[in-house]
Amino acid sequence: MDDFETMPVFGVDAILRDVHAQALGREEGEVADYIPELAKADPAPFGIAVATSRGRLHEIGDTRIPFTIQSVSKALTYCMALELVGRAEVLRRVGVEPSGDPFNAIEFDPLTRRPYNPMVNAGAIAIAGILRDVHGDGAFGAVLTRFSEAAGRPLAMNEAVYSSEAATGHRNRAIGHLLVGAGALAEPMDSALDLYFRQCSIEVTAADLAVMGATIAHLGDNPITGRQVFDVAAVRDTQAVMFTCGMYDYSGNWAFDVGVPAKSGVGGGILGVVNRQLGIGTYSPRLDRKGNSVRGVEAFRLLSAEMGLHSFDLTNPGSAFVDSFFAEMPRG
């Protein structure tokens, strides 16, 4: 190892401590309350985890507290659908255009009548329909297995959140009917909606989101377990859509400021991907008015600035730069 590699400017653990302490000061925002089960969440926990494509995990704060994955699931099921039926068929049903609308908007592309993109509910429900068409009753099992492989440990669904989603999901059912009308979802639509409610109710931790992100960053290969989880072409397309549409109607600002593909969920999680280099997971359930975790957004913004993670950051010439934060300090 040369001096550059052995003597980092500033180690990742010190950066994580600093970013966590700064973002912890943000106390505004509200826990999601569109279903009773989520309204019960403790607003206090805050964790940040970073997993490298070399298989190392760095964590600070509440990175092992389970919460429901919610809309972060949309990125992973999109990846699965691309693999299963191919890009052309997925694009026939769901577009890739940012909508600028809230996640639960009842809005479709006026020209194609398709959902704008797979990161809004309409697109994700159409994607759930594709998984249902291919896997039938085994669809949720396939999703749970794949999410678990991406996280590198067996995950489970939170039954109470699932029941609450299923009992109150009238808006999503309305979207389902419109999708059937537009030819983007096959009948019976209830099975696709049920899969969507279940996928949103899978429990993860911030550490899981970091490892899932690192799996995407590492060309679909989980760098901790060494297992190939996603197809490389699907991972590329998924990152592109995360970059343009992953943060609800804040996606443009996010691309501008933070500049990494990411997906957030109303459970309080954000999963970020630094292509070929890192996965980042944050958890803090207080949300801003667009539905993104206040502390999560702040943590990503600070980390991106501190480590030069923005995709177009001129100070980031590639992996050697990010690697310098992870190098071992010389001993003695």
Question: Using the rule CB under 6 A, is 108 a contact of ligand GLU?
Answer: no
Question: Using the rule CB under 6 A, is 115 a contact of ligand GLU?
Answer: no
Tell me how far apart the alpha carbons of residues 138 and 123 are, in angstroms, rounded to a whole number: 21
CB of 34 to ligand GLU, least distance (A): 6
CB of 15 to ligand GLU, least distance (A): 28
CB of 176 to ligand GLU, least distance (A): 11
Judged by beta carbon, residue 34 or residue 321, the one nearer ligand GLU is 34
On whether the CB atoms of residues 283 and 297 are closer than 8 A, the answer is no
Query: What does the block give as tokens for 87?
Result: 């890009």
Name the pairing type of β-strands 262-264 and 47-52: unpaired
- Residues found in the chain: 332
| Options 72, 143, 266, 294, the catalytic residue | 266
Is 266 labeled as catalytic in the residue annotation? yes
Question: Using the rule CB under 6 A, is 140 a contact of ligand GLU?
Answer: no
Strand order in the sheet with 47-52: 57-61, 47-52, 278-283, 269-274, 262-264
263 bridge partner residues: 271
Instruction: Identify residues 298-317 at the interface with ligand GLU (CB under 6 A).
Output: none
Is 290 labeled as catalytic in the residue annotation? no
Question: Using the rule CB under 6 A, is 47 a contact of ligand GLU?
Answer: no
Question: Using the rule CB under 6 A, is 99 a contact of ligand GLU?
Answer: no
For residue 168, CA distances in Å to 94, 164, 171, 173 come to 25, 6, 8, 10
Question: Using the rule CB under 6 A, is 103 a contact of ligand GLU?
Answer: yes
Instruction: Identify residues 5-24 at the interface with ligand GLU (CB under 6 A).
Output: none
Question: Using the rule CB under 6 A, is 117 a contact of ligand GLU?
Answer: no
Q: How many CB atoms lie within 10 A of CB 155?
A: 22
Among 59, 165, 208, 249, which residue sits at the site for ligand GLU (rule: CB under 6 A)? 165
Exposure on the CB side of residue 225, measured as CA atoms within 13 A? 17
Which residues are near ligand GLU by CB under 6 A? Answer: 70-71, 103-104, 121, 165, 172, 200, 265-266, 291
| Residues catalogued as catalytic | 71, 74, 196, 248, 266
